[in-house]
Amino acid sequence: MHEMSIVQALIEQVESEIQRAGQTGRVTRLELAIGTLSGVHADSIRFAFDLMSPGTVVQDARLVISQPTAQLDCRQCGTVHQIPDLVMACPHCGSTDITIQGGTELLLQSIDLDES
């Protein structure tokens, strides 16, 4: 499960960001964006996070995951569609003259600390 290595990298990134910012305190919340076309499963990330967070800087932190969808822009008919999965043609006109934007994110968006 590659989500385990992603969570390990996430924990290391959080530790690094806290040190870089010169902050102290307990991490209370992490916000991630995992795009629907990223190939990463949010439920697997949650499972791996629950397994790997004890004893780390993110122990007991709340993990909040948003899942941005991709957008298909059709150059043929000009329509724009939100798409949950990778598609090869416009769902409106069938044209393959399309561009797909977004949906591939895998980002740590915020870290909340309790500095008390």
Is residue 76 in some structural domain? Answer: no
**CB-based contacts of 76: which residues, under 8 Å, 6+ apart?**
90, 93, 95, 97, 98
Is the pLDDT assigned to residue 1 strictly greater than 80? Answer: no
Is residue 29 in some structural domain? Answer: yes
Query: pTM for this structure?
Result: 0.85
Q: Could you give the number of structural domains in the chain?
A: 1
Q: What is the CATH number of the domain that holds 62?
A: 3.30.2320.50
Question: The domain containing residue 108 runs over which residues?
Answer: 2-68+102-114
Is residue 108 in some structural domain? Answer: yes
Kindly report, residue by residue over 34-93, the tens digit of the pLDDT. 999 999 999 999 999 999 999 999 999 999 999 999 999 999 999 999 998 888 899 999
Is residue 87 in some structural domain? Answer: no
Residue 86 confidence (pLDDT)? 85
